[in-house]
Structure 1
């Protein structure tokens, strides 16, 4: 997309916003109810608040860019921490609400809200800090990190810092009733299809049997090959979570990010199986940059928590059938995470899983079993 001059919210009253990609991805974020859902996730909002307000020295007198400002809350935090100037960029019409919120908090002299995508706007100066809440399910869903890296390459001054600065994705073996639940739902769906075929023949004398195989494939993908948002309790864990990828956002390239993520790692079993599913989640850290480190490092985790999940929850990947293993065994996982061909903001996950160890299960499961899931 060609670069265009920045369009300020103050210039948009009564006018259409600049021509950008307002596809389905952006539509949801244009509603206050969705912003409310994120704001009232206090683990999320509190982590950003602590990362900024407990590191006022790093923000004092600095120029800050907030990528995907939404309601404007992170821009407001930066201004309260003493930033000299904050550019708050938002692609949707939520920008108008962000401007209203900035004005009502008497911060218009610091925060300038710009409506447009980070790829299309321009700024009059380089920035010292880029702050953004870009994370999606399993960290990478939504592909908003792309825009953060574009912003970094276009606007961040040498030695500048990203908030957050580092990230990791984890998988853990768990016990879960999700497989039984989704299998039952799949069977109910197929029983409903059989009844539907009978009704069509009875009422309209039309035979739809030729659609049965594609319908079954469609429903199987949905019920058995799609990960699920879950609030996983730590007691469901059958072993510790393993980080299979770690990112330093200051050095990660857009090309590396867009390439399929491939990893091979072990999951150590502390309890016996069966392993019904794999549980995926992420952490991010606010550490600043090498030249401008934080005084107080803050970690935001989305892992299983007895007090409840963040709004990201965890992604549970059902294993059908479950994998039997004993305490002390290890699951060897060969994983690939790629962007969906039909929608680059969604993900496809493939895994080959085998059991290693001295138990009878390891002897029986030396040959890897292959699984695949969509993250919708």
Structure 2
């Protein structure tokens, strides 16, 4: 399992990040110039462009921009680009961190240290393989890319979604704790260019594990969820065990930074209970 350190940015830098003003194209320009110098392009361009550009969370290392440049300058009109689709997906998870481990350490309940561990984990995206049962909610599509036609600017985006407990999790009595949001991706070799045998390469926790694993963004504190019929305590805040959420609302922004191949990811989360109570947490910013 791999951890990636979160950067702490001053307010002026955060303003630039939120307004898309921080991305520096100098390094990308150098890469593109290198491609021009090294590649011998046929007169009419190449028939097929194949690249394994995907990183953790799909966009880690930002190699996609170089692929799009190659598409525009080296691929003949109507040529195939493979894979030709890519989709980022999300779900809320109970596993993928060490947090549940502390509830039972060789028979001892050491959950008293979970808060401290949570605060540390909330500063680091975690890359690791999750089991399918670790995803306790429905799943959502954050963003889809069509590589034959997309623009480079689409690599920076914001997505909002709402998720409830999955059918299997909703049948479990009591409260289900969500420790963070989990991202993964699918890439498609679709029938647009692979008419005989289209294929989907999935890094989902519901599929065979890959070296891309999944990327977990840990909440600063766990959020309780339950099905609609839960009994609520009138004075409790949404997302607690006394007032579990029936739905989590999330807004995620992904933007490239001036540091080469690095992304900033902001996560905003709101818990909503069955009686309409809401609780929002401060924005968390991760550097990946």
TM-score, scaled to structure 2: 0.68
Residue 261 (structure 1) aligned with residue 157 (structure 2) = yes
Residue 156 (structure 1) aligned with residue 75 (structure 2) = yes
Following superposition, the deviation at residue 367 of structure 1 comes to 3.5
- Does structure 2 conserve the Cα–Cα contact (< 8 Å) formed by 1:163 and 1:288? no
Residue 348 (structure 1) aligned with residue 264 (structure 2) = yes
- Does structure 2 conserve the Cα–Cα contact (< 8 Å) formed by 1:119 and 1:147? no
1:273 to 176, 193, 196: 176
- Does structure 2 conserve the Cα–Cα contact (< 8 Å) formed by 1:118 and 1:150? no
Q: Matches of 2:56 and 2:165 in 1, distance apart?
A: 25
Q: Matches of 2:198 and 2:133 in 1, distance apart?
A: 28
- Does structure 1 conserve the Cα–Cα contact (< 8 Å) formed by 2:165 and 2:247? yes
Q: Matches of 1:269 and 1:187 in 2, distance apart?
A: 27
Residue 335 (structure 1) aligned with residue 222 (structure 2) = no
Change (3 A) 1:185 1:266: closer
User: Which structure has the bigger radius of gyration?
Assistant: 1
1:322 to 222, 226, 231: 222
- Give unpaired runs (5+ residues) of structure 1: 1-90, 92-115, 189-219
5 Å-filtered alignment, 1:1-376, equals: 117-125=34-42, 126-176=45-95, 178=97, 180=99, 223-257=121-155, 260-270=156-166, 271=169, 272-287=175-190, 289=192, 292-305=193-206, 307=208, 309-327=209-227, 329-341=246-258, 343-358=259-274, 363=277, 366-376=278-288
Following superposition, the deviation at residue 185 of structure 1 comes to 9.8
Q: Matches of 2:116 and 2:137 in 1, distance apart?
A: 31
Following superposition, the deviation at residue 248 of structure 1 comes to 0.5
TM-score, scaled to structure 1: 0.53
Change (3 A) 1:133 1:184: farther
Secondary structure of 1:353's counterpart equals strand
Higher mean alpha-carbon deviation, 149-158 vs 366-375, is at: 366-375
What RMSD over aligned residues (CA atoms) do the two structures have, in Å? 2.8
Secondary structure of 1:169's counterpart equals strand
Q: Matches of 1:331 and 1:238 in 2, distance apart?
A: 12
Task: Point out the structure with the larger helix share.
Answer: 1
What number of residue pairs does the alignment pair up?
220
Secondary structure of 1:323's counterpart equals strand
